[in-house]
């Protein structure tokens, strides 16, 4: 069985090849006379959703019709796992179809299986309905493009905690963030402490009573300075 790899906008690594090679042994258990399996990895250069930026397409080529499966994911390994599951399911269905014999195992004809389904009356031809559906899909795509913006603003709301500036510095270091919002217990003001460089930190406090022309108060002190009340 021959495995062919190809990539578009991405390099197919040796680690990925080894991962796929190990999985492909299951294909030989479900079908015979496989000539080759094509594995195609595609990375969308300008994907809007990074969770589906990578796609993997698997194609089994044998004497019968080719069987394909495709899936997208955040990385090629996740996309491959989903596509491979689909491929195995389709291979099982193809194998079961080959095992069907006459009699009770004969599949039901299409006209028999659909005879009890309700008939949908319409005054439009299939071509007209198809064209209308395509037009509706194109209009929806245009509407989505018109509303798309690369700038995304997300809001998160957290409970306000009253603490000292030193405690806020400790909290910031514990969570590993470059800043930390809190209410200063010294004056009850909404403040944010942030990391500057090395062992220096800054504090910004909002005071609605101040104007732009007022002299802004500043304070410089040491961490856990005992002289600060």
8-state DSSP, 105? G
For domain 2-100, the CATH architecture is 2-Layer Sandwich (3.30)
Q: What percent of the chain has pLDDT over 90?
A: 23
Which residue intervals of the chain are DSSP H helices? 14-23, 25-30, 76-98, 110-113, 126-147, 165-175
Structure tokens at 193: 């402490």
| Number of CB atoms found within 10 A of residue 114's CB | 10
42 contacts 75 by C-beta, under 8 angstroms: no
Q: Which of 71, 69, 65 is nearest to 88 (CA)?
A: 69
pLDDT digit string, tens, across residues 95-152: 777 665 545 555 666 667 766 766 655 677 777 777 888 888 888 777 776 666 667 7
The Cα–Cα gap between 165 and 186 comes to: 9
Rounded CA-CA distance 83/220 in Å is: 60
Every domain of the chain and the residues it spans: 2-100, 162-205
pLDDT at 174 over 80: no
CATH fold for domain 162-205? SHC Adaptor Protein (3.30.505)
Which of 4-8, 12-16, 93-97, 223-227 has the weakest average pLDDT?
223-227
> Which pLDDT score is estimated for 120?
59
């Amino acid at each position: 069985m021959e495995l062919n790899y190809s990539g578009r906008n991405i390099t197919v690594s040796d680690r990925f090849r080894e991962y796929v090679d190990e999985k492909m042994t299951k294909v030989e258990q479900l079908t015979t006379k496989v000539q080759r399996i094509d594995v195609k990895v595609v990375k969308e250069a300008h994907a809007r959703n990074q969770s589906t930026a990578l796609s993997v397409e698997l194609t089994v080529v044998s004497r019968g019709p080719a069987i394909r499966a495709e899936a997208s994911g955040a990385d090629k390994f996740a996309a491959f796992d989903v596509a491979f599951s689909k491929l195995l399911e389709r291979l099982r269905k193809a194998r079961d179809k080959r095992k069907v014999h006459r009699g009770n195992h004969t599949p039901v004809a299409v006209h028999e299986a659909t005879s009890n389904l309700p008939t949908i009356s319409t005054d439009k031809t299939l071509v007209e309905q198809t064209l209308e559906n395509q037009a509706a899909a194109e209009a929806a795509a245009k509407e989505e493009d018109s509303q798309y913006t690369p700038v995304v603003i997300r809001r998160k709301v957290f409970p306000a905690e009253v603490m000292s500036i030193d405690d806020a510095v400790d909290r910031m270091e514990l969570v590993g963030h470059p800043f930390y919002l809190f209410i200063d217990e010294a004056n009850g003001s909404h403040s944010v402490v942030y990391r500057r460089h090395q062992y220096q930190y800054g504090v910004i406090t909002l005071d609605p009573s101040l104007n732009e022309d007022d002299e802004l108060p500043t304070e410089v002190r040491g961490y856990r300075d005992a002289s600060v009340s």
